[in-house]
Amino acid sequence: MSFLDLSLERAYRSSSHALGRDFYAPMLQAASQYRRGSGYFASSVFSVAPHEHVEFFRRGGQMHLVCSESFSRKDLEALSEGVFDRPRVRARWTLASLDVDALGTRIGWPEFLAWAVAADLVVVKIAVPLQRESAGIYHEKIGLFIDDRGNRVAFSGSANESHLGYAGNFERLDVFASFADGAERSRAARIETQWTDLWKNQTAGLRIVPLVDALEEGLLVAHSDEPEPPARRRPRDGFVEPVLATRPEALVPDPAFDPLPHQVAAISHWAAEGGRGILEMATGAGKTIAALTLASRLYDRLGGPFVILVVAPMIHLVDQWRDVARGFGLHPIRCAEGASRWTEELSAAIDAINSGRRPILSIATTAATMSTRQFRDAIERLRRPMLLIGDEAHTYGSRAYHAALPATATYRVGLSATPERWHDDEGTRRLVSYFGPVVYRYGLGDALRDGVLTPYRYFPSIVELNDEESQQYLDLSREIARYGGADEGDDLATELVKRLLIRRARVVAAAQNKLPALRAQLEQRRRDSHILIYCGDGSVLGPDGAEVVRQVREVVRMVGRDLGMAVDSYTSETTPDDRRRLLASFSSGDLQVLVAIRCLDEGVDVPATRTAFLLASSTNPRQFVQRRGRVLRRFPGKARAEVYDFFATGALDHFSPASPQFEAMRGLVRGQLRRVEEFASLAENGPVARGVLRELRTHFRLLDFVG
């Protein structure tokens, strides 16, 4: 059934129509997606068309809702329950087992709402006006239905998303179809754009907040228990009151997170070593699930008040941990971005667990916050057993972070695909001294064999440095050799060598000829999506050949303007909100290409990636191992991944074995061959990938080099 089978009118008015019966129910019957912006939302809306709602959900439909922060008290409690007690609430029914006839009788509408939220059938975001002086609210009413054939029906009018809106009040809705002609089709497209901007937090004057964040920030307010108030009074009139989210923590894993055999083995090895050790597991192999399952089993064994402290290098990783932890019944206190945001909540929670009033306390923090005096003082007050989970554990081998790790953590688990610190044996020893040794290894080959990661093909592509770049590389190599022989205690010379190495790496990463090579590949993929491009942080010539611009900026320009693809960049300058928006858009395919520098190297999930282009990659194994892991995560519809690697070298006829510069260029090739060997070793087309470089290896006498 599609919208073309319906007899749609252009306007529905209560004087001549029953909006619920004549418009809302038939649209749900034919729709596959429903997107709504409504000043008020009430669970009573399900009573308008209960059978149609359930059938809509059973067909895979999902309601995406943006509304104001005002709810009835019962609905507010239901929303909180659906978010913070998700595993238990979702287990009430399945779509197949749900008794539709019990809705509104044995199953109340708020109870159904809690379940629909917990089951991700209803996804809610809250619209908060940026200027609150007038105590105004988001009061818009727009909507969009989409059917399986991509037809759109948009509407706007006076009705809220509630029983009163569709079946109680005197209301009007104007309807616009994408399959109509002229102005009507344009109006439908305009409403869709307005709603999409709303959902992506791109509407001027509004801040759009995911439901869980709105609950945790105490943004939601309860009005009277009437289904819907005629107007919202100012807070000083005493009509609305903030409702802070209660966050019971139970450590009851969602069945969706049942551990895989290798995760069970990792937990067993860690437990056998006395509750300390490092899990060396391939990127994408489920370290987070393993660690949280480990925490759950440890809590079951201890049977008393218990603290879980997760430390991650960056804020976005903290947020990822908190998202997954909710599936285990946890609601970690987020300690990041300034002490004023978390000190009071953390202090109260520590008092509660120390006194026995709280069974579990989970905390997620960044390495930087962990190093602050406020945080360390707070953690020292804990008097209960603590499990410390160190995400990207190699980070904590540095002197500063190692010194900040709490000595009071009874149990410790470090997580890393690459725990050995590159060229830093002392840092690796510090890491082991705190967490213990590696107690379990699960490599990429294991993950590919077990189907945990996606198979991949690898395509190295040779790109020649131009004459100027070759000369820069040679000049910098001579400087590095000159100062690299200084005394071991010469800190000035050591720092100079580091800067020279960075400059030389940028020359290779930003080789001008990589751009036309990339363009040639992308011209064949203009309709593809889920493409990830890793750039260097160097500069290249712009399109006019005169202006020098950052490589990432030129790649975005070329892909977007020249090739007409939907593209954006993900860099250190991208705000947290924009990062979430970009990753969501990339996952859905709306954003075809994502261009990054290094921000995706540490733990960021981009499982939708099907094709990756490596314009730049350091010789540090940790970086290219993690980048490969980013690409190989499993994703619906993703049978395999492809990795294109741009391999830089000087022109062979300029660097014969008799040339005085031969060894310097040979060093460049040898350094990159380590990466090629690592990627080709497990690729489906490994022998073919190696064969691409046979002539190059022969020329530089590296046929026997295996990395």
Mean pLDDT in residue range 340-365:
90
Residues with Cβ within 8 Å of residue 706, at least 6 apart in sequence: 677
Lowest mean pLDDT among 457-466, 473-482, 541-550: 541-550
- Whether 244 shows a pLDDT value over 70: the answer reads no
pLDDT, residue 237, reads 36
Can you give the three-state secondary structure of 503-533, one letter per residue?
Answer: HHHHHHHCCCCHHHHHHHHHHHHCCCCCEEE
User: What pLDDT score was predicted for residue 239?
Assistant: 33
Taken in order 609, 611, 613, 617, the sign of the CA dihedral is positive
Lowest mean pLDDT among 13-27, 270-284, 534-548, 631-645: 534-548
Report the pLDDT value the prediction gives residue 231, as an integer from 0 to 100: 32
The Cα–Cα gap between 10 and 181 comes to 13
Residues in the chain: 707
Strand pairing report for 172-177 and 152-157: antiparallel
pLDDT higher than threshold 70 for residue 494: yes
The pLDDT value given to residue 277: 97
| Confidence check: pLDDT of 224 > 70 | no
Percentage of residues in the chain having pLDDT higher than 90: 57
**Is the model's pLDDT at 228 over the cut of 90?**
no
- How would you classify the pairing of strands 141-146 and 152-157? antiparallel
Quick one: 318 exposed, middle or buried, by C-beta within 10 A (0-12, 13-18, 19+)?
A: buried
pLDDT exceeds cutoff 80 at 45: yes
- Give the number of C-alpha atoms closer than 13 A to the C-alpha of residue 328, restricted to the C-beta side: 27
Q: Answer yes or no: is pLDDT of 639 > 70.
A: yes
- Look at residue 487 in the predicted model and tell me its pLDDT: 54
Give start and end residues of each alpha helix (H) in 405-523: 425-435, 444-449, 467-484, 491-509, 514-522
Q: Which helix (H) or strand (E) holds 441?
A: strand 438-442
Mean pLDDT, the chain, whole residue set = 87
pLDDT of residue 496: 86
**What is the structure's pLDDT at 247?**
52
When mean pLDDT is compared across 108-112, 122-126, 250-254, the lowest value belongs to 250-254
Taking the C-alpha atoms of residue 682 and residue 454, their distance in angstroms, rounded to an integer, is 11
Q: Kindly state the helix (H) or strand (E) to which residue 324 belongs, with its residue range.
A: helix 315-326
- Per-residue pLDDT tens over the stretch 600-622: 655 567 888 999 999 887 666 76
CB-based burial label for 524 (10 Å; 0-12, 13-18, 19+): exposed
pLDDT at 619: 66
CA neighbor of 41 nearest in space, from 199, 233, 200, 228: 228
What span, in angstroms and rounded, lies between the C-alpha atoms of 439 and 272? 9
- Calculate Rg over the CA atoms of the chain: 29
Query: Using CA atoms, how far apart are residues 294 and 257, in angstroms rounded to an integer?
Result: 12
The pLDDT of residue 133 = 45
- The reported pLDDT for the residue numbered 495 is 79
% of the chain residues with pLDDT over 70: 92
Helix (H, G, I), strand (E, B) or coil at 389: strand
Looking at residue 491, its pLDDT comes to 59
What are the pLDDT digits (tens) for 520-578?
999 999 999 999 999 887 777 777 665 677 888 999 999 999 999 999 988 877 777 78
Beta strands in 90-132 (DSSP E): 122-129
Look at 605-609, 658-662, 663-667 and tell me which has the smallest mean pLDDT.
605-609
- The model's confidence at residue 2, banded by pLDDT at 50, 70 and 90, is confident
Summarised one tens digit per residue, pLDDT across range 404-460 is 999 999 999 999 998 988 778 898 999 999 999 999 999 999 999 999 999 999 999
Distances (CA, A) of 414 to 265, 349, 420, 452, 480: 15, 25, 12, 21, 35
Measure CA 147 to chain center.
Answer: 28
pLDDT at 584 over 50: yes
Query: Which of 283-287, 314-318, 352-356, 404-408 has the highest mean predicted lDDT (pLDDT)?
Result: 404-408
pLDDT at residue 232 tops 50: no
Token pair 């030389």 is found at: 504
Residue 489: predicted pLDDT: 53
pLDDT above 60: residue 659 = yes
What's the pLDDT at 544? 64
Single pTM value for the model: 0.64
Mean pLDDT computed over 490-506? 79
- Average pLDDT, integer, range 116-127: 94
Q: Quick one: pLDDT at residue 485?
A: 62
**Pairwise pLDDT comparison (294 vs 481), residue with the higher score:** 294
513 band by pLDDT with thresholds 50, 70 and 90: very high
DSSP 587-644: HHTSS-EEEESSTTSSS---TT--EEEES---S-HHHHHHHHHHHHS--TT---EEEE
Contact 123, 64 (CB under 8 A): yes
Distance CA 285, CA 394 (A): 17
Structure tokens at 699: 């020329």
The full DSSP string for 559-595 is: IIIIT---EEEE-TTS-HHHHHHHHHHHHHTSS-EEE
Which is nearest to 89 in space by CA: 107, 66, 62?
A: 107
Cα–Cα distances in angstroms (integers) from residue 386 to residues 98, 276, 314, 471, 579, in the given order: 41, 12, 22, 56, 32
388 has which bridge partners? 309, 412
Q: Which helix (H) or strand (E) holds 360?
A: strand 360-366
What distance in Å separates the CA atoms of residue 254 and residue 256, rounded to the nearest whole number?
A: 5
What is the C-alpha separation between 412 and 414, in angstroms, rounded?
7
